[in-house]
């Protein structure tokens, strides 16, 4: 039996070094690692100097395991750091956002205009009675007012809790009540897949029971009919009449900035909360370093919704602190056509694109013809976020979207970490397709076994963080014991991320997904990620999801669900299944040969693009399918179950 906690099966020999031209102009040089290693605390202190502080800290770090305080007793305002400072330094005319609505409406918003909007919204919050220390729930489409609402909350010192606009009324009220929010900011609706969808009815349903919400502030986006009550206020009616001046108050470095809920293993969501000074320090530094941002010339597009941590750190706080010009898009990638996002890249001459592997694989599935219709030559850097990216999707991203000239930064981090932790540095790192490469300067991440001993090169195990970092979560809102139990109980004094990882022979990090997704096949612990990568490296496969199903002989057997690529002729039926099984054996070994492979049209994904493998496990084990309410399309599971009967088994 293998001694590895997770086996290291796939190998990758391709490497891509930075060009001399890119390296020469890169924001960060190799020396940054040595600088951080020599004095980690001093390193982060130097990064905090980029922010505008109204009162300087007296201690960089107060570490009482597992609770940290960074830049102790320092005072600042997040909104001032994102906006006022740029106007004060003469950058008010720079574009902050190019907004593209799904129906084709557009807005160009400068930093000066964004500051004016935020000041007026902050005055409106004050009139409503929102004050420092309150919590505000935000349930919005991807429109500029979502960012304005977040920054207005930060300006007055109220913690925002953004709930993704695709979540149900039930999910919304659980988050409202857990945070004890006093105000909900929403919209009548938004546009998605070519039609208006409603948001306000879900808020009304959520607030039909017990809560402490006093008002609902409603942005008019679609103009659809909405029910109205005494607690409801139109955004334009209260915000538009506010004065354009607002003096921002300074808040303690450890003042709560936001709460963001993640699904827990129990029904009750976890309220991950982040504070101000440390979070802003690391979000802004990593945005400058990882994306090599040149604010005067770059057009940056992070495709994440503000309902997720990526939207917080790399749409709102990090980029705005750094004075970036961004694209914000409201709609879906296939509306009104499958080239929509490439059309936007061409239109705005986007230079930096940060998106998710699930979207990259979707583009692969649709076929090269869609990106090939548009001029993508403005792109100079590509990023990946949200889950491990398999090598073939990485290569397709590089070749088809990046024209073989753009470095790719494959980033690992979590809601809990607040900012990127492991990533290549463009201009420094020779990258390998599918690898996040190494921890960033100032970050201490290791791969360990069950006893917390580091594994050697060529081995797999658990990814841990053994030293505090500025943007780390400060706890689970209102549940300090749950925080300790969830993140700090596996190893004493060490944060366990819940992810598996391996080190290759060069010491590069390869993320293997959640350790819950490791299969035990005849005593071998095999990551679903590696089998999925092997399947997707076959020329006919665009996307794959793999689960371990109970098996009387091997303990667990591998069951794979695959989506085929568009635009090519496919081998048919049993011949394709046999070819795919043989391909996995060739790539990994006989131990990873799937018992079953099912060709499907879609996979069950949450609205953030994560594959829900537990539902596929239900199907593979012929059980009733569990709760699928968080799926982007709940009907997907019926289609998969109907098709299972025709799958080929050994």
CA dist 97 and 319 (Å) reads 11
In which order are the strands placed within the sheet that holds 106-110?
A: 106-110, 95-100, 325-329, 299-302, 352-355, 381-384, 408-410
Nearest in space to 328 (alpha carbons), one of 85, 95, 122, 153: 95
- The predicted model gives 522-545 an average pLDDT of 86
- Positive or negative, the CA dihedral 150, 153, 157, 160 is negative
pLDDT tens digits, one per residue of 13-70? 899 999 999 999 999 999 999 999 999 999 999 999 999 999 999 999 999 999 999 9
Q: What is the 3 state secondary structure string of 364-411?
A: HHHCCHHHHCCCCCCCCEEEECCCCCCHHHHHHHHHHHCCCCCCEEEC
Report pLDDT for 383: 98
Q: What is the pLDDT of residue 116?
A: 98
Q: Give the pLDDT confidence score for residue 555 in this predicted structure.
A: 78
10 or 71, which is more confident = 71
Predicted confidence at residue 648, as pLDDT, reads 43
Burial of 563 (0-12, 13-18, 19+ CB in 10 A): buried
**Which is it for strands 596-599 and 555-564: parallel, antiparallel or unpaired?**
parallel
Q: In Å, how far are 99, 355, 366, 397 from 433, measured between CA atoms?
A: 32, 16, 21, 10
Res 630: pLDDT? 63
> What is residue 642's predicted lDDT score, i.e. its pLDDT?
67
Query: Would you list the domain boundaries of the chain?
Result: 538-649
Whether the CB-CB separation of 370 and 342 falls below 8 Å is answered with yes
Is residue 609 pLDDT above 80, yes or no? no
Residue 6 has pLDDT above 70, yes or no: no
CB neighbours of residue 645 within 10 Å = 7
Euclidean distance between CA atoms 255 and 258, whole angstroms:
9
Residue bearing the bigger pLDDT, 585 or 423: 423
pTM above 0.85, yes or no: yes
Beta bridge partners of 67: 64
Q: Which two tokens stand for residue 230?
A: 């005494």
Torsion sign (Cα): 636, 103, 95, 240: negative
Lowest mean pLDDT, pick from 35-49, 52-66, 267-281, 587-601: 587-601
Mean pLDDT of 463-486: 96
**CA–CA separation, 482 and 484 (whole Å):** 5
Residue 617 has pLDDT above 90, yes or no: no
Q: Which residues neighbour 258 within 8 Å (Cβ) at sequence distance 6 or greater?
A: 150, 153, 154, 159, 160, 161, 162, 273, 274, 312
User: Residue 199 has what pLDDT?
Assistant: 97
β-pairing, 648-649 vs 135-139, is unpaired
- d(CA 580, CA 573) in angstroms, rounded, equals 11
- CA–CA distance, 121 with 145 (Å, rounded to integer): 9
State yes or no: pLDDT of 627 exceeds 80. no
May I ask the CATH architecture of the domain 538-649?
A: 2-Layer Sandwich (3.30)
Asked if 524 and 7 count as a contact pair (C-beta separation under 8 A), the reply is yes
Q: pLDDT band for position 650 (50/70/90)? A: very low
Tokens representing residue 557 in the block: 């057997």
Q: How far apart are CA 14 and CA 278, in angstroms?
A: 37
* Range with the poorest average pLDDT among 21-35, 373-387, 406-420, 543-557: 543-557
Q: Residue 53's closest CA among 23, 29, 30, 73? A: 73
Tell me the pLDDT of the chain averaged across its residues.
92
Q: What is the pLDDT of residues 231-256, one digit of tens each?
A: 999 999 999 999 999 999 999 999 99
Report the alpha-carbon distance of residue 154 to residue 132 in Å, rounded.
9
Q: Per-residue DSSP letters for 244-299?
A: S--PPPPEETTSEEEEEEE--SSSSPEEEEEESHHHHHHHHHHHHHHTT--TTT-E
pLDDT at 266: 47
Strand, helix or coil at 414?
Answer: coil
Q: Where does the pLDDT of residue 385 fall: very low under 50, low under 70, confident under 90, or very high at 90 and above?
A: very high
**CA–CA separation, 516 vs 580, rounded Å?**
25
CA 193 to chain centroid: 22
| Spatial separation of the C-alpha atoms in residues 551 and 634, rounded to whole Å | 28
pLDDT in tens, 562-584: 999 887 777 778 899 999 999 99
pLDDT of 299 above 50: yes
pLDDT at 2: 41
pLDDT of residue 135: 98
pLDDT band at 645 (very low <50, low <70, confident <90, very high): very low
pLDDT at 319 over 90: yes
Give dist(CA 69, CA 184) in Å, integer. 29
Q: How confident is the model at residue 646 (pLDDT cuts 50, 70, 90)?
A: very low
> What 3-state class would DSSP assign to 340?
helix
Query: What percent of the residues of the chain are helix, what percent strand, and what percent coil, each to the nearest 5?
Result: 30, 25, 45
Q: Under a CB-based contact definition with an 8 Å cutoff, are residues 22 and 426 in contact? A: yes
Give the three-state DSSP class for 498: strand
Give the pLDDT confidence score for residue 628 in this predicted structure.
65
Query: 566 or 190: whose pLDDT is higher?
Result: 190
**Distance (Å, rounded) from C-alpha 472 to C-alpha 385?**
18
Mean pLDDT of 136-144: 97
448 has a pLDDT exceeding 80: yes
Angle subtended at Cα 135 by Cα 129 and Cα 136, rounded to the nearest 5 degrees: 75
Report whether 13 contacts 411 (CB < 8 A). no
pLDDT value of position 621: 84
Q: Evaluate if residue 525 carries a pLDDT over 80.
A: no
pLDDT of residue 1: 28
Give pLDDT, residue 265: 46
Helix axes 573-587, 528-536, angle to 10 degrees: 120
Of 53, 44, 112, which is closest to residue 77 (Cα–Cα)? 53
Note the pLDDT of residue 606: 76
What pLDDT does 238 receive?
98
Phi, psi of 365 (to 5 degrees): -60, -40
């Amino acid at each position: 039996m293998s001694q590895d906690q997770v086996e290291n099966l796939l190998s990758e020999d391709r490497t891509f070094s930075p060009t001399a031209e890119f390296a020469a102009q890169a924001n960060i040089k190799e020396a940054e690692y040595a600088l951080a290693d020599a004095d980690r605390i001093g390193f982060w202190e130097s990064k905090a100097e980029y922010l505008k502080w109204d009162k300087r800290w007296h201690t960089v770090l107060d570490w009482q395991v597992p609770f940290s305080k960074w830049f102790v007793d320092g005072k600042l305002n997040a909104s001032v750091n994102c906006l006022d400072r740029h106007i004060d330094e003469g950058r008010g005319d720079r574009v902050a956002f190019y907004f593209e609505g799904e129906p084709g409406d557009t807005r160009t918003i400068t930093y000066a205009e964004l500051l004016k909007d935020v000041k007026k919204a902050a005055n409106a919050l004050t009139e409503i009675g929102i004050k420092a220390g309150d919590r505000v729930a935000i349930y919005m489409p991807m429109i500029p007012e979502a960012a304005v609402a977040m920054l207005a909350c930060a300006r007055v010192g109220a913690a925002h809790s953004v709930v993704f606009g695709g979540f149900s009324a039930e999910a919304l009220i659980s988050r409202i009540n857990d945070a004890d929010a006093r105000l909900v900011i929403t919209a009548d609706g938004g546009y998605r897949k070519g039609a208006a969808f409603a948001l306000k009815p879900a808020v009304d349903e959520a607030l039909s029971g017990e809560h402490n919400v006093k008002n609902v502030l409603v942005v008019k986006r679609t103009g659809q009919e909405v029910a109205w009550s005494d607690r409801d206020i139109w955004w334009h009616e209260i915000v538009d009449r506010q004065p354009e001046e607002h003096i921002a108050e300074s808040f303690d470095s450890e003042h709560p900035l936001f709460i963001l809920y993640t699904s827990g293993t129990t029904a009750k969501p976890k309220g991950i909360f982040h504070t101000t000074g440390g979070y802003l320090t690391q979000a802004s530094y990593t945005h400058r370093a990882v994306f090599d941002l040149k604010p005067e010339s770059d057009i940056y597009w992070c495709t994440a919704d503000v309902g997720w941590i990526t939207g917080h750190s790399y749409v709102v706080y990090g980029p705005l602190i750094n004075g970036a010009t961004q694209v914000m898009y409201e709609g879906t990638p296939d509306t009104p056509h499958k080239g929509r996002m490439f059309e936007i890249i061409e239109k705005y001459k986007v230079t930096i694109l940060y998106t998710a592997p699930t979207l990259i694989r979707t583009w692969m599935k649709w076929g090269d013809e869609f990106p090939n219709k548009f001029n993508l030559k403005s792109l100079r850097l590509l990023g990946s976020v949200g889950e491990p990216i398999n090598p073939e999707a990485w290569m397709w991203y590089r070749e088809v979207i990046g024209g073989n000239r753009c470095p790719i930064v494959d980033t690992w981090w979590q809601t809990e970490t607040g900012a990127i932790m492991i990533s290549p540095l463009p201009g420094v790192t020779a990258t390998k397709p599918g690898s996040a490469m190494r921890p960033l300067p100032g970050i201490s991440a290791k791969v360990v076994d069950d006893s917390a001993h580091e594994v050697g090169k060529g081995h797999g195990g658990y990814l841990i963080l053994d030293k505090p970092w500025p943007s780390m979560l400060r706890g689970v809102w209102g549940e300090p014991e749950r925080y300790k139990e969830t993140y700090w109980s596996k190893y004493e004094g060490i944060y366990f991320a819940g992810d598996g990882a391996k080190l290759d022979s060069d010491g590069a990090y390869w993320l293997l997904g959640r350790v819950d997704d490791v299969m035990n096949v005849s005593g071998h612990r095999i990551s679903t990620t590696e089998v999925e990568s092997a399947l997707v490296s076959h020329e006919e496969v665009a996307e794959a999801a793999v689960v371990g199903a109970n098996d009387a002989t091997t303990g667990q057997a591998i069951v794979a669900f695959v989506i085929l690529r568009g635009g090519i002729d496919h081998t048919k039926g049993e011949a394709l299944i046999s070819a795919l099984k043989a391909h996995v054996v060739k790539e990994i070994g006989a131990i990873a040969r799937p018992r079953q492979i099912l060709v499907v049209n879609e996979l069950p994904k949450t609205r953030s693009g994560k594959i829900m493998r537990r539902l596929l496990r239900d199907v593979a084990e012929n059980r009733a399918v569990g709760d699928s309410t968080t799926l982007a399309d709940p009907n997907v599971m019926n289609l998969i179950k109907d098709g299972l009967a025709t799958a080929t088994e050994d």
